[in-house]
């Protein structure tokens, strides 16, 4: 039983939502269905055949075993609920997911509860509005109308609605649509800029590929343990790639940028490099959290007395060189400036623009460790030189 499973069970019980259980990875030699059943019972989930009425099915996403039976169980559970809808009522439904597509704009997945959703309908939630330009079913096929219980991809929202919001659609007036509020303000995640002066706060601008991921990441990061008395403040969060606008905001707030399953625009990369803004991206949530925790260990430490001895020069360009070296004193931090010394004499200065250890990007390298780095300078570095930060 993983924490997310326990949380799902709690939500189902609190909301009195019917559910079935899929016991996964039954193709593995170590699979132990009975142990899973016992774990479920210890969390007050009583399966059929074990004194309860919750249906379950063992499945394997690798072999496909049990998938058809699981689908049958879902349909049977729905039938037993005797769910009904009315095609004549006003169109209503729930927002399941929303994301910003570079080509198609706001792309929102909904589930229809009542009424008939049609192309050209006005559509609104408490935080977003628009006019339906195009609709697709779950297979990506275009259609002009959908009946209740259908999952639908809707294109036409002017801004992204929030996950879980109810929407209504149809022949709505401008008055109906005028009450919507901005997406980010509704989330209530902004922090007053006077918190920028608090040295125990790690300020983050959060970006994600879809609104569902964004919502989950806000909660995960806010509850992530940090060293000492430090805590995380989400200064802003939005869906889409990291842009130069995000970097400018990070500069004004002294924040770092954290991106989940998003790319960084070239202009944003260049601007971040010039302002020493840290950008972290990853497609695995727990690694993203680990990177934030690593930064929290170093972000407020003064960078004093660090020294690197150059052991090898691998390549060089007009103003950047790739070198390898060993930290002989202090800690070497990415994006920091250093004086170049040769035979005890200062011959120039420059800045680390990329730092790696064991072929992986890192933010800091400790004393006694070797590393590779891309160093930005107009001086031609040689083996035996030293990089010194006083």
Domains and CATH numbers, the chain: 3-80 (3.40.50.300), 91-182 (2.40.30.10), 189-298 (3.40.50.10050), 306-389 (2.40.30.10)
Q: What per-residue confidence (pLDDT) applies to 181?
A: 43
DSSP state of 188: T
Q: What per-residue confidence (pLDDT) applies to 176?
A: 56
Q: What CA–CA distances, in Å, run from 31 to 24, 70, 96?
A: 9, 18, 32
Q: What per-residue confidence (pLDDT) applies to 347?
A: 93
Q: What per-residue confidence (pLDDT) applies to 6?
A: 86
Q: What per-residue confidence (pLDDT) applies to 260?
A: 93
Query: How much is the pTM?
Result: 0.54
Stretches where the chain sits below pLDDT 50 are 177-197, 302-303
3-state secondary structure of 145: strand
Q: What per-residue confidence (pLDDT) applies to 367?
A: 85
Q: What per-residue confidence (pLDDT) applies to 174?
A: 54
Please name the residue that has the structure tokens 């939502």.
Answer: 17
Length of the chain: 390
Contact 222, 173 (CB under 8 A): no
Q: What per-residue confidence (pLDDT) applies to 107?
A: 93
What's the Rg (C-alpha) of the chain?
A: 27
Q: What per-residue confidence (pLDDT) applies to 182?
A: 37
Give the span between the Cα atoms of 115 and 168, in whole angstroms: 10
Q: What per-residue confidence (pLDDT) applies to 185?
A: 35
């Amino acid at each position: 039983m993983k924490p997310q499973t326990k949380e799902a069970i709690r939500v189902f019980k609190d909301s009195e939502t019917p559910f079935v259980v899929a016991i996964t990875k039954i193709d593995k030699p170590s699979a132990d269905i009975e142990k899973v059943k016992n774990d479920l019972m210890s969390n007050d989930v009583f399966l059929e055949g074990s004194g309860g009425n919750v249906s379950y099915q063992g499945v394997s996403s690798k072999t496909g075993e049990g998938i058809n039976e699981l689908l049958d169980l879902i349909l049977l559970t729905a039938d037993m609920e005797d769910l009904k809808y009315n095609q004549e009522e006003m169109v209503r439904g729930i927002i399941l997911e929303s994301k910003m597509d570079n080509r198609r704009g706001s792309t929102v997945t909904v589930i229809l509860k009542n009424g008939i959703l049609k192309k050209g309908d006005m559509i609104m939630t408490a935080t977003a509005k628009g006019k339906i330009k195009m609709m697709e079913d779950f297979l990506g096929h275009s259609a002009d109308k959908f009946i209740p219980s259908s999952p639908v991809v809707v294109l036409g929202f002017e801004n992204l609605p929030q996950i879980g919001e109810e929407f209504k659609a149809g022949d709505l007036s401008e008055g109906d649509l005028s009450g919507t509020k901005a997406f980010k303000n509704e989330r209530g995640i902004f922090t007053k800029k006077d918190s920028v002066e608090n040295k125990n706060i790690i300020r983050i601008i959060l970006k994600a590929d879809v609104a569902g991921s964004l919502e989950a990441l806000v909660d995960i990061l806010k509850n992530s343990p940090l060293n000492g008395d430090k805590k995380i403040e989400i200064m802003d969060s939005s869906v889409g790639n990291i842009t130069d606008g995000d970097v400018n905001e990070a500069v004004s707030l002294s924040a770092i940028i954290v991106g989940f399953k998003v790319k960084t625009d070239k202009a944003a990369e260049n601007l971040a490099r010039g302002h020493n803004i840290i950008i972290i991206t990853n497609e695995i949530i727990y690694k993203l959290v680990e990177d934030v925790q690593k930064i929290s260990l170093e972000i407020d430490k003064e960078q004093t007395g660090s020294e690197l001895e150059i052991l090898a020069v691998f390549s060089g360009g007009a103003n950047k060189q790739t070198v390898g070296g060993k930290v002989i004193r202090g800690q070497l931090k990415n994006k920091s400036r250093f004086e170049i010394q040769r035979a005890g004499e200062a011959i120039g200065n420059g800045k680390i623009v990329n730092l790696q250890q064991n072929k992986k990007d890192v933010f800091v390298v400790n004393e006694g460790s070797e590393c590779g780095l891309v160093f930005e300078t107009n001086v031609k570095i040689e083996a035996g030189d030293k990089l010194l930060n006083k």
